[in-house]
Structure 1
Amino acid sequence: MAQGSSATPQTTEADRNPEATGEVASSIVVTGSRIRRPNLEANAPITTISGEQFFETGQLSVGDTLNELPQLRSTFSQQNSTRFLGTRGLNLLDLYGLGTQRTLVLVNGRRHVGSDVLSNGVSPDTNTFPTDLIERVDVMTGGASSVYGSDAIAGVVNFVLKQDYEGVQVRGQNGASKYGDAGNRYASILAGKNFADGRGNIAINVEYAQSDDFYGSNRPTMRQNNAFIVVDTDPAGTANGSDGVFDRQFFRDVRSATISLGGQTGIFQSAGNAACGRDAVGAAFVCNMLFQPDGTLVPQTGERIGLGPNGNYVGGNGTSSREGKLLALSPNLERISVNLMGHYEFSPSFVPFWEAKYVRADAYGSQSGPFFSQGTTLGDPGGRERIRLDNPFLSDQARTLLTQQLLATTVNANTGAALTAAQLDAQRAAINAGTFRFNLRRNWVDFGIRDEAIRRETYRAVVGVRGDFNDDWNYELSVNYGEHREKNVVKGNVNVQRYLLGIDTTRDAAGNIVCRSKLNPAGTVDYGADAAILAADIAACVPINPFGQGSVSQAARNYVLMDTVATGKIKQFVASGFVAGDTSAWFELPGGPVGFSVGGEYRREKVYYDLDELTQQGYAFYNAIPTFRAPAFEVKELYGEISVPILKDVPFFKELTANASGRVSDYKGATGTVYTWGTELTWTPVLDIRFRGTYNKAIRAPNVVDLYSEQSQNFAPAPNDPCSLRNIGTGSSYREANCRAAGVPTNYDFVYTSSIELISGGNPNLREETSTSWTVGGVLQPRWIPGLSLSVDYFNIKVDDVITAPSAQQILNACYDAPNLDNPFCGLFTRNGATEGPSGEAAYQVLQGSLQQTTLNYAKLTAEGINAELNYRHDFSWGSAGFKTVYTRMIKRNEYLNPADPSFRNQILEELGDPKNQVNFNGDVKFGKLTIGYQMRWIDKMYLNTYEDYNSVNGLPPQNADYASLKKYPDVFYHDARMGYDVTEKFNIYVGVDNIGNRAPPFGLTGVGAGSGIYDVRGRYGYIGAVAKF
């Protein structure tokens, strides 16, 4: 706190203090090269964050602090890490939104074992990095595979740790939000000792950090669900997708029409009946009724909004899905780390060194909420997820009301499908007999929240030797081994087979409520295809009361709930070595000696992931994921660099230097041998200004997860069915004819309200991704303003053959938008016929679990923009002052993901999470013992939905110009303040407040999505800390 930001884009903290790099004072090694340089400048654009800056906010996560830089996207921050199973607590870095797997993260210029077992297996969790041991972090833009190998496509983030640390430092910090939650605690001890007249050093760092989980129910702006709701649809063929009426309006206190806490049933109505009203376009709303805590049944109240058949409510007696722990804003994370570093110089040519670390991170909490069921969620072939009218737990009052409403409808009460006269008679007969099964839509809070408890352990050791010889040559040999282990226990998961057995109840001859399967085991569907388990589950079955709240007995909970366990491991072994030097002993060019380095590297990685047997067999209410034990990933590489100083100290050429690098990599498997290279040019006409440019060809080899992940059950967000009446006119000119050819009738208008089940997995035949990137810019350091520097750099990154899996939406669209149905995408799913499907699907709906998804090399990504930095630091007679301003203007950010049309551009820029402009300002003023600091972040406006809604792309007109009553989320300013005081030369105390204005995510956003994670959810946040040195 007593010092502000002093790093500049071309001159790092390590540059100013050569001892911090562990090199001799006459030469410097900068990120992006292994050649020592006589000057202080990097050739590639680099933004540097000093280690002290990580304590200038109330953030405890290194990744969250870095994500505030305009170059990084909050794709996987602390607050949005709960989006997927097994990822809570992870913090992964993503340069320019090109993907965490395309940002190479290094520690002291070396690879670090990954932490993301399920997604890519290569991205390190920044929570494993020792905050107090960080000297600086270099963020480099552009490809660097020729220097560092695979994955350096968007750029490199290099964590440089402190070297030769001497003394003892103790630091403590504590903080909480204005709401009294989101507390965090941090404690660190850093100790180091030089010995043998400075030839040796050993340092140890022990850190503890803990952040509390917190929930939407703790936030006044999130206790109720405020959201944009669809209220209008545009007829097919409407110009610009606009009929002059906004499709979405913003409502406050929105309540669900498809689920509740105690049980909800919705009875579909015919278009001619509409007993519960119609939407704005005339469609009949479903008649909803709610089970009260005591099991009585009442109509759902509130103002009906949205589009039928379900719509939404404003106010009333329904659920907002924000109660209690239903909306998790950030997980609980506890971290303990131990780092040991050292080296000893036997002679300048023989300096052994070592690094070792152990990190244990425990993440708790859930955004999954409780188990939920909506009548067809589980896809049970026996239809047992729906409740029979003669269920003995159903009260007479509820049965009477429900029977009356069911008999009044003239369509399929559960799906809205039209019925023939005979079918209607059969439905009414089943209702009167009590055998009819109705949808029960419920968040099962009585089962508790499905909390995840994840323990991640990271071990890493680096052992090597380095040295100088022949005056101007140096070398390094090292072995780097890292291992990530994790164990994920999901508490309160539901055994699906036991749930289906338990809710299907009846009375025995004595009048006791029993599971129906005990009386008729032959009529039970074997959910897990294991007769022995089914028999045991039937024998142990405990009836479950599905109506109301607090009605589930402890015996029923014990029967249906189970803890599921998953374990994973990533192993990484890297052996590398290089030798570097220059030609000063033989010859020099007009600009000086030619510098060079040559080296080699061998890397081997292994990933596995195991789940408990019941989960693998599909009994758990999570994806049925098989054990993943992939073949080892291996690569052997040779690389080299050369730096040619063409001119020096002549008029208009203070410096002119050209650099080149190359690497040949031999990958095991389909990737084979690949080549990468890069060039750089630096021109300094006069001392005050310097121009620089780079061009790089980089690659990302498919990782173990890309190649070998097992084909397994997965779920995709609810797609828009291209054959639905409301979507038929939004595709190609072939779409309608293809839908008719597929047998879908003209009146089909199905709307997905929940995710769609699919089968996804890896592809062992994948090739490498390739990229080209180039940067050009300059640095101004005017001598007449000491301490001031300005850098401006243009960057352009293009990634081809991107490894991705077509989304469910893309597969469906590609099938029906092609000239005919004879295309590969139509074979990747199956549609239902004219009757209800095996898992309760509506007529003509895509069958659950039929859609197949695998990874392919077919997509393209682009990013283009300008990075600018203005830095200043100066000492005055009264003290010192300085600031650092980082600005990024994105010019393009596009994705080409349409498998049917590779040239079809999807503009990401200006959509949520990818603003066009972003600024980060950090400044401080020091008066004697007092330091006052201020930080500001500005995030530009972003569209509510897609750029294409309002703008012409791909030669097409705007797709939905009346998407919502608000076009863009407003721009946002965040203001932070801090103050530090040096009580003595070795003891400093500091206090700070983040988000002084208490800005919450705008217009109902929660901040837990991939895009909305760019916004702060903690609100105003205060912290206090102290540092003591001995």
Structure 2
Amino acid sequence: MFNKRLSDVGPRVSSFNFSGFQIQLGLKGDLDFINGGFDVYYQYGNTNGSNSLLGDTSLVRIQQGLLLNAAGTGCADPSGGCVPVNIFGQGTMSAAAANFIKTRINSSQDYEQQYGGFSINGDTANQFSLPAGPIGFAVGFEYRAEEFAFNPSQDLATGNLTGFNASPPVAGRFDVYEGYAEVLVPLLKDLPLVKSLDLELAGRTSDYTGQPKAVQTYKVAGSWKVYDDLMLRASFNRAIRAPSIGELYAPQSNGFPTATDPCSARAAPNAAVRQACINSGVSASVVGLLNANQQTQTLSGGNPSLRPEEGETLTLGAVYTPSWISGLSFTLDFYNIKVTDAIDTFGGGTANLMNVCYGPLVNGNPNSPYCKAIVRLANGSIDYVVSTNQNVASRELEGLDFGVTYKTSLEDLGLPDWGTLSVRSLYTNTWLYTIKPDDISAPVKCADKFGNRCRGFGVNPVPRHKLRTAANWRFNNVGVNLVWSHLDDVVDDNPASRFTVERIGAKNYVDLSADWDVNDNLAFTGGVRNLTQEAYPILGGNASPSNSGYPAVYDVMGRTFFLNARLRY
């Protein structure tokens, strides 16, 4: 086996270009006989994208350039302008050879969505009322269609590449028809310790093309206003999430997530793992000696047989608005969310799949689907791992939100009458985020964690403590805004491995902006984001692939300035 980084042809570069179009139509009207109205709407959207991949090489042309004629003076097959390719050493490849093996790859994708429906809402006041008031209601119907197509060039589709991954063409579509109804029932009001007591009920049925049967969701919620200052609330929801176009029809292609072969020299297997490797069929003579990269080739992609995910959410909360302090409000909410039949890659990704195969539960059993998913070459090294989308996982999330809102005029604070001041603060404590990849794997705990195990389930870092506070001062048509966001530190999610960076420290982001409403039609906003230049975390092998990190959680750009104008007409 021979490995070489083909820097001779220049860097690998991806260039993306996207354009979008959307149209929305709607009609609203009043229905006096139910003290309500109707809403009819339609929306069409299309997004088209193209991608050019530069700096990759053709595997077929490399093989052609390596096979020389008997004299060793040229290619055995000179077609296409073949130039002999020297892959030995740094900088030994000629410019002509580099140009011969270099290939430009192109692809295009098209995403189209149609969405339409109607709703009717009102109450029963004109027909009847309960002692606590009329019943409010809403009913409606919705239709949605989503269609996606991906068209790659020939080299990209067939995998005639050495740098980027193969991506065959894919196309798919689904339609969904939905009907729903909601009612708000006032049960009691104006009684001792019951200022008001309301019950909310809702239900929806959804029929997806490609699914064997329609699915139902519902909500039961209640609010109890004990007195003017205090309200208690609770709700229970059953929800579904149907698989997306990508999860259903994404092409099965190769990727290289961070995952080290447990049977390799890099992993330094202990006695138990060594025996599991032997049990799975790896020769005892190479266990612990195999050469392995930190990234393992993995076949992943869509599955047209996926079913909708099912989730249950319980929330309990309270709202306290003290009448003795005008403009002040407190909210406290507990939440518990459980998802079953969750759509995830089989085994929870490559790293977890390996841990299961060579762990104590499976112990390298070659008949286990976990070990069958690991395909090895004749020399014992891993060729690739199969980890496509399946309905195999379950998730549970639990935490607490505490919010404070305060709004007042400066005059009420004993200051000059120079406008109003408002402050909003939300603290979130997420003490549980657990994923069970399947019936065999051990639960993966992601609260307060980051790393490859959680990332294999599409989970970004989950700081246990988060706080966001926004302050706004407004005087006439000018406003100043200050936002502070705090993210608690997180630690690597795999205690069995040591990485260059095992902890991402706490981050504090400060944004400052000002806005000016010139008139009813024209407004300006300007400011600075990440004022204190909080650094983006630089990680190691636990930020696969290629140290891409977590841009959805942490600011990548550093301090940035912005200015925009808004024109209404």
TM, length-normalised to structure 1: 0.49
Task: Give the structure 2 partner of residue 810 of structure 1.
Answer: 352
**Match in the other structure for 1:460:** 22
Q: Distance in 1 between matches of 2:525 and 2:143?
A: 46
* Cα distance change on mapping 1:702 and 1:932 into 2, 3 Å: closer
Distance 1:919 1:668, change over 3 A: same
**CA separation of 1:821/1:492 partners in 2, compared to 1, >3 Å: closer, same or farther?**
closer
Match of 2:403 in 1: 869
How far the C-alpha of 1:672 sits from its partner, in A, is 1.7
Give the CA deviation at 1:884.
1.5
Which residue number in structure 1 is paired with residue 141 of structure 2?
A: 600
Residues 724, 675 of structure 1: alpha-carbon distance in 2 compared, 3 angstrom cutoff: same
For residues 970 and 497 of structure 1, do their structure 2 counterparts lie closer, same or farther at Cα, with a shift above 3 Å needed?
Answer: same
Q: Alpha-carbon deviation of 1:720?
A: 2.5
Give runs of aligned pairs for residues 547-586 of structure 1, distance below 5 A.
547-549=89-91, 552-553=94-95, 555-586=96-127
For residue 976 of structure 1, report the CA deviation from its aligned partner.
3.0
CA distance in 1, matches of 2:101, 2:354: 36
Listed one character per residue, the Cα deviations across residues 153-173 of structure 1 (whole Å, up to 9, x for unaligned) are xxxxxxxxxxxxxxxxxxxxx
Give the match for residue 829 of structure 1. Answer: 374
Offset of residue 477 of structure 1: 2.3
DSSP 3-state at the match of 2:425:
strand
* Pair 1:627 & 2:169 matched: yes
Question: Among residues 993, 1001, 1013, which one is paired with 2:536 in the alignment?
Answer: 1001
Q: Which of 181, 188, 213 is the equivalent residue of 1:640?
A: 181
Return 997-1006 or 669-678, whichever deviates more: 997-1006
What is the deviation of 1:729? Answer: 5.9
How far apart, in 1, do the equivalents of 2:175 and 2:284 lie? 53
Distance 2:341 2:550 in 1: 24
Q: Please say if residues 262 and 273 of structure 2, whose CA atoms lie closer than 8 Å, have aligned partners that are also in contact.
A: no
Residues 62 and 101, structure 2, Cα contact 8 Å, conserved in 1: yes
Q: Is the 8 A contact 2:509 2:530 kept in 1?
A: yes
TM-aligned CA distance change 1:781 to 1:566, over 3 Å: same
Larger mean CA deviation between 487-496 and 791-800 belongs to 487-496
Cα offset, 1:541, TM superposition? 0.9
Give the drift of 1:831. Answer: 2.7
Separation (CA, whole Å) in 1 of partners of 2:503 and 2:300: 34
Q: Which residue number corresponds to residue 467 of structure 2?
A: 919
Measured in 2, the distance between the counterparts of 1:741 and 1:1027 equals: 64
Give the C-alpha shift of residue 1027 in structure 1: 6.4
Question: Residues of 2 paired with 1:985 and 1:686: CA distance?
Answer: 40
Per-residue CA deviation, residues 61-102 of structure 1 (Å, 9 max, x unaligned), is xxxxxxxxxxxxxxxxxxxxxxxxxxxxxxxxxxxxxxxxxx
Instruction: State the Cα deviation string for residues 688-737 of structure 1 (Å, max 9, x = none).
Output: 22221111000112233333334x33123242323346757679x68725
When residues 811 and 878 of structure 1 are mapped into structure 2, their CA distance, relative to the original with a 3 A threshold, is: closer
Counterpart-to-counterpart distance in 1, 2:478 and 2:142: 49
Query: Deviation of residue 628 (structure 1)?
Result: 0.8
CA contact (8 A) 2:538 2:549 kept: no
- Structure 2 counterparts to residues 470-619 of structure 1, below 5 A: 470=33, 472-502=35-65, 504=66, 514-515=73-74, 518=75, 520-521=76-77, 536-537=79-80, 540-544=81-85, 547-549=89-91, 552-553=94-95, 555-619=96-160
The structural deviation recorded for 1:888 is 1.1
**2:464 aligned partner, one-letter code:** K
Rg comparison, structure with higher value = 1
| Aligned position for 1:857 | 391
Matching of residue 699 in structure 1 with residue 233 in structure 2: no
Cα deviation code 1:815-869 (max 9, x no counterpart): 3331533322333333334xxxxxxxxx3212x24x3332221101111111222
Query: Deviation string for 1:449-478 (max 9, x for gaps)?
Result: 333232222222232322111251322222
The secondary structure found in structure 2 opposite 1:1018 is coil
1:883 to 417, 423, 426: 423
Contact 1:924 1:934 in 2 (8 A): yes
**In the TM superposition, what are the counterparts of 1:80-99 in structure 2 within 5 Å?**
none
State the 1:771 CA deviation. Answer: 0.5
- In structure 1, the gaps of 5 or more residues are 1-375, 377-385, 387-438, 522-534, 834-842, 950-958
CA distance 1:996–1:704, shift in 2 (3 Å): closer
Identity of aligned residues (%): 26
- One of 474, 486, 490 as aligned partner of 1:938: 486
Looking at structure 2, the residues matched to 552 and 584 of structure 1 have their Cα atoms a distance apart, in angstroms, of: 85
1:118-267 matches, within 5 Å, as: none
Tell me the CA shift for residue 593 of structure 1.
Answer: 0.5
Where do 1:887-898 residues align within 5 Å?
887-898=427-438
Distance 1:603 1:778 in 2: 36
TM-fit CA distance, 1:769: 0.9
1:912-950 Cα offsets, whole Å, 9 max, x none, are 32100111111133467764432211110111x21x62x
CA RMSD of aligned residues (A): 3.2
What SS does the aligned partner of 1:812 have?
A: helix
For residue 744 of structure 1, the aligned residue among 280, 283, 295 is 283
**One-letter code aligned to 1:892:** L
Partner of 1:276: none
Q: Distance in 2 between matches of 1:938 and 1:481?
A: 39
Aligned length: 540
Which one scores higher on RCO, CA 8 angstroms, separation ≥ 6?
Answer: 1
**Counting strand residues as a fraction of each chain, which structure ranks higher?**
2
Aligned pairs (5 A) from 1:674-753: 674-710=215-251, 712-724=252-264, 727=267, 736-737=275-276, 739-740=278-279, 742-745=281-284, 748-749=287-288, 750-753=290-293
Task: Report the Cα offset of residue 983 of structure 1.
Answer: 8.0
Q: Distance in 2 between matches of 1:507 and 1:770?
A: 63
Maintained 8 Å contact 1:475/1:577: yes
* Contact 1:599–1:638 under 8 Å retained in 2: yes
Match of 1:121 in 2: none
Q: Secondary structure at the match of 1:762?
A: coil
Cα deviation, residue 889, structure 1: 0.9
SS in 1 for 2:214: strand
